[in-house]
């Protein structure tokens, strides 16, 4: 199996999930004043993605990056709000927003758990549907912020699965699912004879 390609997919997926988690927190916390603002959503998404770039590297400081993201998010939100004659975020709301964003890495974080579950649903559909390419844009509720990214990652995933399924047999999808969504690093290799998986505001 081309493990390096699977690892790259996993890295891209983890970063996209983190972006989605921050976006969900932002839009759920601030609510109506920023709903439906595509330009703001795009700016926030680009900024968050840049600050999370390289998060798969061993020396990446996830906690520090989330703190920086929180500060930048609050700045962008206040700018957008005041430009449209809304009051800026109170210090209490900014503190709450920062706390929620910085708590993403914690075990059993509800937003993180939600996003991970929805992403697994998405890839499970791709694995089980006889025509997975028709399902690429059908993302579960809560994953709208990374719909485009999921489509690109999903297409790579389908290509990898189709190629390897013929080689490793009917168990390939189960093995891929375990590797893609395991907490630890992928297994070193697969047996030679055996083998066979998501969150803007909606």
CB-based contacts of 198: which residues, under 8 Å, 6+ apart? 17, 115, 116, 118, 119, 120, 121, 122, 123, 139, 140, 143, 146, 150
Tally the domains of the chain. Answer: 2
Is residue 185 one of the residues assigned to a domain?
A: no
Is residue 195 one of the residues assigned to a domain?
A: no
| Residue % of the chain over a pLDDT of 90 | 72
Shared-domain flag, residues 127 and 159: yes
Shared-domain flag, residues 55 and 114: no
Measured N-to-C along each axis, helices 110-128 and 172-180 cross at an angle, to the nearest 10 degrees, of 160
**Interval 19-33: pLDDT, tens:** 999 999 999 999 999
Give the C-alpha separation, 202 to 143, whole Å: 8
**Interval 96-105: pLDDT, tens:** 999 999 999 9
Q: Is the pLDDT of residue 95 over 90?
A: yes
Contact (CB, 8 A) for 77 and 48: no
- pTM confidence score: 0.82
Residue matched to tokens 């399924």: 165
**Interval 144-164: pLDDT, tens:** 999 999 999 999 999 988 877
User: What mean pLDDT, rounded, does the chain reach?
Assistant: 86
Shared-domain flag, residues 141 and 162: yes
Shared-domain flag, residues 153 and 74: no
Is residue 114 one of the residues assigned to a domain?
A: yes
Q: What is the 3-state secondary structure (H, E, C) of 148-164?
A: HHHHHHHHHHHHHHHHH
Q: Is the pLDDT of residue 198 over 50?
A: no
Shared-domain flag, residues 17 and 83: yes
Is residue 52 one of the residues assigned to a domain?
A: yes
Contact (CB, 8 A) for 154 and 122: yes
- Provide the 3-class DSSP secondary structure of residue 36: coil
CB-based contacts of 127: which residues, under 8 Å, 6+ apart? 161, 173, 176, 177, 197
Is residue 201 one of the residues assigned to a domain?
A: no
Shared-domain flag, residues 68 and 19: yes
Range of the domain at 87: 3-102
Q: What is the 3-state secondary structure (H, E, C) of 73-121?
A: HHHHHHHHHHHCCCCCCCHHHHHHHHHHHHCCCCCCCHHHHHHHHHHHH
Give the C-alpha separation, 81 to 88, whole Å: 6
């Amino acid at each position: 199996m081309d493990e390096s390609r699977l690892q790259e997919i996993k890295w891209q997926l983890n970063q996209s999930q983190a972006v989605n988690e921050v976006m969900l927190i932002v839009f759920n916390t601030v609510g109506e004043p920023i709903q439906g603002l595509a330009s703001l959503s795009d700016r926030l998404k680009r900024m968050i993605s840049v600050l999370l770039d390289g998060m798969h590297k061993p020396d990446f400081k996830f906690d520090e990056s989330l703190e920086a993201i929180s500060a930048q998010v609050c700045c962008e939100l206040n700018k957008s709000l005041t430009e449209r004659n809304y009051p800026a975020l109170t210090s209490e709301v900014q503190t709450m927003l920062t706390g929620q964003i910085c708590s993403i890495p914690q075990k059993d974080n509800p937003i993180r758990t939600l996003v991970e579950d929805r992403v697994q649903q998405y890839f499970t559909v791709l694995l089980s549907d006889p025509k997975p390419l028709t399902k690429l844009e059908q993302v579960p509720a809560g994953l709208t912020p990374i719909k485009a990214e999921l489509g690109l990652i999903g297409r790579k995933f389908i290509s990898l699965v189709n190629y390897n399924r013929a080689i490793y047999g009917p168990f390939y999808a189960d093995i891929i699912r375990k590797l893609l969504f395991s907490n630890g690093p992928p297994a070193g290799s697969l047996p030679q004879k055996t083998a066979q998986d998501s969150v803007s505001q909606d």
